[in-house]
């Protein structure tokens, strides 16, 4: 091989190699930036879901409070059951009131 061809190969392959390295570096940097944006978006979503869970937990605790349950029972005209008997079913036990048929429906 002639010496000038070897110099020409180096002169051509060095800039091509540098260009290839720069392109790969830009791609890697771009991917890191994109992942950063995705992580930030997921953090915002996580924070909003935590806030929603906190609000729903408060609503559930308010709905389960004794005062709320008693008020709802009063609104529905529910009374205290008397003469309750328990009937076992295939999966659980069900409580039946002996006077459940006494109430007339509206």
Q: What is the pLDDT of residue 104?
A: 46
Q: pLDDT over 70 for what percent of the chain?
A: 82
- 101 contacts 83 by C-beta, under 8 angstroms: no
Q: What is the DSSP letter of 91?
A: S
Give the mean pLDDT of 21-43: 97
Nearest to 71 by CA among 63, 81, 83: 63
49 against 93, higher pLDDT: 49
Give the mean pLDDT of 82-103: 72
Q: What is the pLDDT of residue 38?
A: 97
19, pLDDT greater than 60: yes
Q: How confident is the model at residue 77 (pLDDT cuts 50, 70, 90)?
A: confident
Q: What are the b/e assignments for 27-63, b being 16+ CB within 10 Å?
A: eeeeeeeeeeeeeeeeeeeeeeeeeeeeeeeeeeeee
């Amino acid at each position: 091989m002639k010496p000038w061809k070897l110099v020409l190969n180096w002169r051509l392959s060095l800039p091509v190699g540098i260009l290839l390295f720069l392109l790969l570096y830009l791609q890697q940097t771009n991917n890191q930036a994109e992942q950063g944006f995705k992580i930030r978006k997921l953090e915002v979503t996580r924070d909003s879901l935590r806030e929603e869970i906190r609000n729903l937990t408060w609503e559930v605790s308010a709905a389960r409070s004794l005062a709320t349950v008693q008020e709802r029972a009063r609104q529905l005209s529910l009374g205290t059951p008397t003469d309750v008997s328990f009937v076992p079913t295939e999966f659980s036990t069900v409580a039946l009131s002996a006077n459940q048929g006494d109430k007339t429906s509206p």
